[in-house]
Structure 1
Amino acid sequence: MNVLIVEDDMLQRKSLKMMIQQIDKGINIYESADKDEALEITSIYSIDVFYVDICLNSSSGVDFAIEIRKIPKYEFSFIIFLTTHVEYLTKAFKEVHCYDYILKPYNMSDVVNMTKHFKAHIEKTNEKSEVKRYVIIEVKSGVNVKIYVDETIFIEVYLRKCMIHTVNGIFKVNNLPLSKILKIINCNNIVQCHKSFAVNVNYIKKIENVDSKLSAIYFENYDENAPLGYKFKNTIMEQFQ
């Protein structure tokens, strides 16, 4: 499940994120402090649930919600408004057809129960439609490629070139640091294993020691392997086991 929190107060945003993460660490949570950044996120990722502050510093959460309702895939998405101003809610319900609202300060049980409801609904829907999560990557100027996250085997960055190894081939992207691609993909199963590599732990077949500081990671049905640095070994081994 992909969740977007649009909230300009960083402390409140982090508090809400922490509550949602307690439900399931596998929930992908994206954050934004303003309307423009939030719209950019919705164009890159497929968001399932929106938690939107009605009053943002530089814009209106209602205006943001009206904009995303114009996008076909978000026409019926779950939108929950965050507010201390109940007088704005009538407009929010009439113009945006939001699902519900949460009053500030947040009540944990309200957040948890509501998010669990969304999660159960989305999982049931995904089981029926077999929807696969993906990201859109610009591999070169004017050329964008849809990369399915679960089909990513490993990622390597060498001489300012990022190579994303997938079951459908290798995609090369210039000037994309490892830290940024990991942030874009935002998947708990894809974990950094070396200063220049990250692997999808679901594809690991074998880990073999090379020397005291380095190991090699081998993958199911894939000829190439990836290095495992000693600083990352414990994290990888925990998930591999």
Structure 2
Amino acid sequence: MYSIMLAEDDHIQREILKIMIHSIDNSIEIYEADSESSALGIIENQDINMFLIDIGLKESSGLDLAMDIRNTPKYEFSQIVFLTTHLDYILQAFKQIHCYDYILKPYNKNDVQAVLKKLISNEINCLGNGKDDSDKHEDKELVIKIRSSIYVVVKIEEIIFIEVKGRDCEVNTISGVYAYNNISLKKILELIDCKDIVQSHKAFAINKNYIFKIDKLDIRLFNVYFKNYSKNALIGYKFKNNIISEFENVGNYYVK
């Protein structure tokens, strides 16, 4: 069963949100907390899928509660959505907590449903399909600082390949290309920590799930083509055995 913890110190506001949440799916289990201490008591004893947290809790900051949640191993990648009357703390929330979204007060039903539906529906479908702990890497995300105070969140499973460009790494995904500034390929692979994304060249790492064709350019270099993607990557001789051997005998892949 999908569950949400609602950390909001105003009883009336909690009731309004509960009605809106149950209008999306009446089977959702809602746990209520009016303070950081009561919220921490709940998360210790329950398994929560999503956290809705009021940034302005009376006893303490909702950011402090969210940090405690993130520091709990089983909630490292859980969905956190902040409730707020203004946007002053939202940038801090994205940077420090890696929250998924925010909802402005006073609550608008359409806004609440738009934010929650995209998160709840996907998670419920995963639960219904028997998703277990072995699939958690599919939910992992990479937070990329693209400019000063501007960040994007990229799903690890949507990364096609990574290319070193000077001191930066260019992350090619199915939704766009993003430059991760001042990071090495080794470091970004450590952050991603995904068995499907492997180094293929001193300047490239590729997602094996997106490979369409591999061409031999010369004795030491191979060109990689990806499904439904126009840009190519390279495989160096040093790394070829970890990648090419998997595709040489598969009909959907082509190696010259």
Q: TM-score range by the shorter chain?
A: 0.5 to 0.7
Residue of structure 2 in register with 1:116 after alignment: 117
1:26: how far off? 0.6
Identify unmatched segments of 5+ residues in structure 2.
133-256
SS at match of 1:80: strand
- RMSD (Å) for aligned C-alpha atoms: 1.6
CA distance in 1, matches of 2:32, 2:5: 6
The yes-or-no answer on 1:105 pairing with 2:106 is: yes
The 5 A counterparts of 1:110-189 are: 110-130=111-131
SS at match of 2:89: helix
Identify which of structures 1 and 2 has the higher relative contact order when contacts are C-alpha pairs closer than 8 Å and 6+ apart: 1
SS at match of 1:87: coil
SS at match of 1:94: helix
Letter in 2 for 1:16: L
Structure with max Cα Rg: 2
CA distance in 1, matches of 2:114, 2:76: 23
CA distance in 2, matches of 1:84, 1:61: 13
Change (3 A) 1:128 1:36: same
SS at match of 1:86: coil
Kept in 1: contact 2:6–2:53 (CA 8 A): yes
The yes-or-no answer on 1:63 pairing with 2:64 is: yes
CA distance in 1, matches of 2:89, 2:118: 25
Kept in 1: contact 2:54–2:62 (CA 8 A): yes
Change (3 A) 1:44 1:85: same
Kept in 1: contact 2:101–2:115 (CA 8 A): no
Kept in 1: contact 2:69–2:75 (CA 8 A): yes
Identify unmatched segments of 5+ residues in structure 1.
132-241
Residue of structure 1 in register with 2:179 after alignment: none
Kept in 1: contact 2:103–2:115 (CA 8 A): no
CA distance in 1, matches of 2:71, 2:6: 19
String of CA shifts for 1:130-154, please: whole Å, max 9, x gaps.
55xxxxxxxxxxxxxxxxxxxxxxx
CA distance in 2, matches of 1:16, 1:124: 22
1:127: how far off? 3.3
Q: Stretches of 4+ moved more than 3 A in 1?
A: 127-131
CA distance in 1, matches of 2:131, 2:85: 38
1:78: how far off? 0.7
CA distance in 1, matches of 2:18, 2:115: 14
Kept in 1: contact 2:81–2:103 (CA 8 A): yes
1:113: how far off? 2.2
Residue of structure 1 in register with 2:93 after alignment: 92
Residue of structure 2 in register with 1:29 after alignment: 30
Kept in 1: contact 2:6–2:51 (CA 8 A): yes
String of CA shifts for 1:147-172, please: whole Å, max 9, x gaps.
xxxxxxxxxxxxxxxxxxxxxxxxxx
Give the paired residue count.
132
Letter in 2 for 1:98: C
Bigger shift: residues 113-122 or 57-66: 113-122
Percent identity between the aligned chains? 46
Residue of structure 2 in register with 1:17 after alignment: 18
String of CA shifts for 1:34-65, please: whole Å, max 9, x gaps.
00100111111111111100011101100000
Bigger shift: residues 112-121 or 19-28: 112-121
- Structure 2 length normalisation: TM-score? 0.49
Change (3 A) 1:128 1:23: closer
CA distance in 1, matches of 2:8, 2:45: 19
SS at match of 2:47: coil
Residue of structure 1 in register with 2:45 after alignment: 44
Residue of structure 1 in register with 2:187 after alignment: none
